[in-house]
């Protein structure tokens, strides 16, 4: 059998496990069930499109992780995780999409057999992949277990990136640079939006410098005109009209590590309100980048950005940044800290964020964003794309 494909050293996986064990001990957790595929990958290396079925990483305090998932996906675990084969456990297919039995029933039997059904078990309660049925099954089958919420326990250990993680994000930045350049070069009035998206996908997956791209956790968000008043619309097959603005929120992705960047293009002569918003966002970004230094808080970055916007008579009610890194659909954010009022998380070197001062009005929207790395001295933009409103007549 071929050697397992690992994107990180076994020493790095061991260090990650130790950090999570320390966090578990601090919270009095004896065993952790990590169902978020990003956390599963970060802990073990597992990489597969199997998160539509129930799976998790079992992490007992003081032990190596165990991968648990659908039996047919166990071979994928053998190809991608750093653990030995006996730490890979699959459940039969009769548990998949069944109305009579649930994969957590099978998992409960494993925990009982290994005497892990007593004590405190952490579960990711507020997570896309841990359903109410999962929790109900565990509670029913493990009556002597005390379940505690460990939703972001692993996520917080991922906040400060390693040297190798940053290297992958820098490669993702090269991919998003290339993708934006291609999209901005070919977009024109009358072009069908789906044809633009096809070129975006081709470029982002082709990659650059001999490094192929991975699928981003979020599809391209490329709304035009009034559709751009909403931040999360996707695309259709209608032609792009003249005298309209389109923002392109795209991400490069390399080995599951993301670098999202947004830019906006106006096809025609942009009205003055567009230029006003452009200048406000550019200055607000500069203020936020200046504030995003070690020792400052997330709130302080938000204050700097919003103070600048207010000078232009503009306000941003939503958060202005969120952490990024390794992720799977449906989100490339890490779901821990946010740059907004009330978040007093102290910035540390190695943290990475999508700095996102998008503005959405009644019938239009504009986004100019940056993915940033907190260094020892300041914030550093990962991608190098001109920071402006692009115009094409």
pLDDT of 354 reads 98
pLDDT in tens, 57-82: 999 999 999 999 999 999 999 999 99
Tell which wins on pLDDT, 289 or 1.
289
According to DSSP, residue 192 is labeled B
Summarize the confidence of residues 163-180 as an average pLDDT: 98
CB 154 within 8 A of CB 326: no
Domain ranges of the chain: 10-157, 163-392
Element (H, E) at 311: helix 298-311
Look-up: residue for tokens 């504009």? 366
Local confidence band at 2 (pLDDT 50, 70, 90 cut-offs): low
Of 153, 44, 148, 54, which is closest to residue 101 (Cα–Cα)?
54
Write down the H helix ranges in 268-297. 272-291
CATH number of 10-157: 3.40.350.10
Judged against a pLDDT cut of 70, whether residue 131 lies above it is answered with yes
Parallel, antiparallel, or unpaired for β 379-381 and 370-374? antiparallel
Percent of the chain with pLDDT over 70: 99
* CB distance 267 to 361 below 8 Å: no
From the list 209, 336, 335, 323, the residue with the least C-alpha distance to 257 is: 323
What distance in Å separates the CA atoms of residue 96 and residue 151, rounded to the nearest whole number? 24
40, pLDDT greater than 70: yes
Q: What is the pLDDT of residues 299-356, one digit of tens each?
A: 999 999 999 999 999 999 999 999 999 999 999 999 999 999 999 999 999 999 999 9
Strands 66-70 and 56-60: antiparallel
pLDDT at 1: 46
What is the CATH class of 163-392? alpha beta
The answer for residues whose C-beta is within 8 angstroms of residue 310's C-beta and 6 or more apart is none
Strand partners, 83: none
């Amino acid at each position: 059998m071929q050697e397992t494909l690992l994107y990180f050293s076994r020493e790095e996986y061991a260090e990650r496990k130790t950090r999570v064990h320390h966090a578990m001990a601090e919270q009095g957790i004896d065993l952790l069930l990590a169902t978020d595929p990003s956390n599963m990958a970060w802990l073990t290396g597992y990489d597969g499109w199997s998160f539509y079925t129930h799976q998790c990483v079992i992490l007992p305090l003081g032990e190596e992780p165990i991968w648990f998932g659908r039996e047919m996906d166990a071979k994928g675990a053998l190809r991608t995780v750093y653990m030995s084969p006996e730490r890979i456990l699959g459940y039969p297919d009769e548990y998949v999409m069944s109305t009579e039995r649930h994969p957590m029933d099978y998992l409960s039997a494993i925990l009982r057999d290994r005497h892990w059904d007593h004590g405190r078990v952490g579960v990711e309660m507020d997570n896309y992949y841990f359903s109410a049925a999962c929790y109900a099954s565990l509670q029913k089958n493990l009556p002597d277990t005390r379940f505690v919420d460990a939703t972001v326990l692993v996520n917080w250990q991922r906040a400060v990136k390693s040297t190798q993680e940053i290297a992958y994000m820098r490669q993702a930045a090269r991919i998003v640079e290339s993708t934006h350049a291609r999209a901005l070069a070919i977009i024109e009035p009358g072009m069908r939006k789906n044809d633009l998206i096809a070129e975006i996908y081709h470029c982002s997956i082709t990659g650059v410098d001999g490094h192929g791209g991975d699928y981003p956790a979020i599809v391209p968000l490329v709304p035009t005109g009034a559709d751009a008043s909403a931040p999360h619309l996707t695309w259709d097959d209608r032609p792009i009209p003249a005298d309209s603005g389109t923002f392109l929120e795209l991400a490069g992705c390399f080995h599951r590590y993301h670098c999202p960047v947004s830019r906006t293009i106006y096809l025609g002569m942009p009205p003055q309100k567009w230029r006003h918003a452009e200048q406000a966002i550019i200055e607000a970004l500069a203020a936020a980048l200046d504030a995003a230094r070690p020792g400052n808080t997330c709130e302080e970055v938000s204050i700097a950005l919003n103070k600048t916007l207010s000078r232009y008579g503009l306000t941003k009610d939503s958060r202005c940044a969120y952490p990024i890194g390794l992720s799977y659909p449906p989100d490339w954010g890490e779901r821990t800290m946010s740059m907004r009022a009330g978040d007093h998380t102290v910035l540390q070197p190695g943290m990475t964020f999508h700095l996102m001062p998008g503005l959405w009005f009644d019938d239009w929207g504009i986004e100019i964003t940056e993915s940033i790395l907190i260094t020892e001295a300041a914030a550093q933009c990962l991608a190098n794309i001109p920071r402006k409103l692009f115009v094409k007549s």
